[in-house]
Chain A
């Protein structure tokens, strides 16, 4: 273990924490806590095993503990708060919509989706990091994708709804897509 090995994990950890928590300050706090936890847990890390996966594991334990410590707010129905959500018309609209929708997923589902679809981790590594069986990874992944799709379909996208050509389903939340389930 040397300094380079740890330091080169930082950008990836920050990005992942940023998307997981949805807040820049919370993300860097989470990374900081993760490093401090790693500092006190080195004895439990086996040289030669995957450092990145280990740090992700520590981060998830911390994140879920923090979530549990906060009295978890009641789930919000997106339709009830649609008018209060910040609008916008910049080029990052789409990314903001996506982030907002991600935060509406249950944390367990969000974590699985991000590890698999954003971090390109295998289902086995995802299962190990989250401490759950692979079958649970699959069911959470399925629920997360279905739910995210539903949320994105509902999310108002004023800048895009007109521009998005019908029949180009891969380019975003085209409202014209038919719902399958």
Chain B
């Protein structure tokens, strides 16, 4: 706990009642800087009312401190201990998951982009699944990639490439035509690259990534402050496209003020460590916009992406 003064000393001169009382509280609670506390202490030495009131508050404090001291040394009931251990273990799984995210970077880079990962991921998935309560409550068999798992992979891909200084993308925005042509070919569908300049984000470029059910494209954008967001997209397995309607806990954030997304395109919010994301599916394709932004900021960007893709 940090302690510092919250009381503006400059206000003291006027001595209105509320300020005065605030100073007394701060003095009793030891929340004034030493010099100011000393000065106030001396100033109040002859103030009988102040002394009496503060003595009362200190007595209250002493008695509050003494309340149920026994509980600080009593054995903790088993129920609570068990709950605490569950909580701690969950926290550790979370931490492991994040370390694994870092490991994924080296794995992905080492195997190169042609690696589909199909034979490698099942071994990792069980350790991964309990870690993220939101994204992969039902550990997805690879054959039926859920949108949640898609969103989680998008978050990992974001975490992996977002901090890259020298190679954030494979093909830069300078070669945008080539980028779009190339990724459209690999994803088997004509792609559009949303322009987010009106929201302050310029395209950095894009890259190709392996996903559970095929190739994925990642477009990276950056604003003038160096903040990066990534748009991750790719074809979902046919089974999971329907899962959006039936298998999810319900749309979290339909895009307000936007072109209303179709039934299958409700925005879902996901938070994976520091990375927030909105994901949606549309016509068999999954989309996820990830970034370390507040939810409203990210939502306005996701809304813009959605609108442009559906023009």
Measured CB to CB, the residues of A under 8 A from B are: 1-3, 5-7, 9-12, 14-15, 18-19, 28, 31-32, 35-36, 38-40, 42-47, 50, 52-53, 94-95, 98-99, 113-114, 116-118, 120-125, 134, 138-139, 141-142, 145, 148-149, 152, 169-172, 177-178, 180
Which of these, B63, B65, B85, B132, contacts A172 with CB under 8 Å?
Answer: B63
- Contacting pair A122 B59 (CB below 8 A): no
State in angstroms the CA–CA spacing of A125 and B3 once bound together: 9
Interface on chain A toward B: helix, strand, loop, or mixed SS? helix
| Beta-carbon contact of A53 and B1 below 8 Å | yes
**Which residues from chain A contact B2 at a C-beta distance below 8 Å?**
122, 124-125
B88→A122 contact, CB < 8 A: no
Supposing A43-B273, A169-B52 touch, asked if A3 and B60 sit within 8 A by C-beta, the answer is no
Assess whether B88 is in contact with A43, with CB atoms less than 8 Å apart: no
Of the candidates A11, A28, A99, A149, which one forms a contact with B60 in the assembled complex, judged by CB atoms under 8 Å apart?
A149
By the criterion CB–CB under 8 Å, are A117 and B21 in contact?
no
Q: Which residues of B contact A15 (CB under 8 A)?
A: 67-69, 71-72
Residue contact B29 to A116, C-beta cutoff 8 Å: yes
Which of A5, A32, A121 is B80 in contact with, Cβ under 8 Å? A32
A-B contacts, 8 of them at CB < 8 A, read: A2-B88, A6-B91, A15-B71, A39-B87, A43-B272, A142-B22, A169-B59, A177-B52
Which A residues are CB-close (under 8 A) to B74? Answer: 11, 14
Let me know if B64 is at the binding interface, CB within 8 A: yes
Are A98 and B64 in touch, CB under 8 angstroms? Answer: yes
Q: A12 is contacted by which of B64, B72, B90 (Cβ under 8 Å)? A: B72
Interface of B is mostly: helix
Contact A39 B63 (CB under 8 A): no
Asked if B133 is an interface residue, CB under 8 A from chain A, the answer is yes
Interface contact A1-B64, CB-CB below 8 Å: no
Distance to closest chain A CB from B207 (angstroms) = 26
Residues on A with C-beta less than 8 A from B67 are 15, 19, 95, 98-99, 118
Q: Top 6 nearest A-B pairs by Cβ distance?
A: A1-B91, A35-B83, A6-B88, A15-B71, A118-B64, A3-B88
Judge if B25 is at the interface, Cβ distance under 8 Å: yes
Interfacial chain B residues near A142, Cβ < 8 Å: 18, 21-22, 25
CB neighbours (8 Å) of B80 from chain A are 10, 14, 28, 31-32, 35
Bound complex: CA A95 to CA B64 (Å) = 9
Given contacts A15-B72, A145-B60, contact A43 B29 (CB under 8 A): no
Contact, CB under 8 Å: B133 / A40: yes
User: Which residues on B sit within 8 Å (CB–CB) of A35?
Assistant: 80, 83-84, 86-87
Which residue from chain B places its CB closest to the CB of A43 in the assembled complex? Answer: B271
Binding site for A on B (CB under 8 A): 1-4, 6, 18, 21-22, 25-26, 29, 31, 49, 52-53, 55-69, 71-74, 76-77, 79-81, 83-92, 94-95, 132-134, 271-274
Q: With A11-B71, A43-B272, A122-B3 as known contacts, state yes or no: A1 contacts B92, CB within 8 Å.
A: yes
A sample of 16 more A-B contacts (CB under 8 A), given A3-B89, A116-B29, A122-B6, is A1-B88, A1-B94, A7-B81, A7-B88, A10-B80, A11-B71, A12-B72, A14-B76, A15-B67, A43-B134, A118-B64, A124-B4, A145-B25, A145-B57, A148-B60, A170-B58
Other-chain contact of A138, B25, B59, B77 (Cβ < 8 Å): B25
Give bound CA distance, A178 to B21, whole Å.
Answer: 18
The residues of B that contact A28 with a CB separation of less than 8 Å are 77, 79-80
Taking CB atoms, residues of chain A closer than 8 Å to B3 are 122
Contact between B84 and A7 (Cβ–Cβ < 8 Å)? yes
Are A172 and B31 in contact, with the CB atoms below 8 A?
no
- Whether A125 lies near B1 (C-beta < 8 A) is yes
Partner of A169, one of B6, B56, B84: B56
Determine the distance from Cα of A39 to Cα of B80 in the docked complex, in whole angstroms: 13
Chain B residues, CB < 8 A from A149: 56, 60
Contacts of B71 in A (CB 8 A): 11, 14-15, 18
CA A124 to CA B4, docked complex, whole Å: 8
Residues of B near A180 (CB, < 8 A) are 49, 52-53
Name the residue of chain A whose CB is nearest to the CB of B271: A43
A39 with B90: CB separation less than 8 A: yes
Report whether B94 and A42 are in contact in the complex, using a CB–CB cutoff of 8 Å.
Answer: yes
Complex Cα gap A148–B71 (Å): 23
Task: Evaluate contact between A42 and B90: CB separation under 8 angstroms.
Answer: yes
B77 / chain A contacts, CB cutoff of 8 Å: 28
Question: Assuming the A-B contacts A10-B80, A172-B59, are A3 and B85 also in contact, with contact meaning beta carbons closer than 8 angstroms in the complex?
Answer: yes
Chain A positions within 8 Å of B18 at CB level: 139, 142
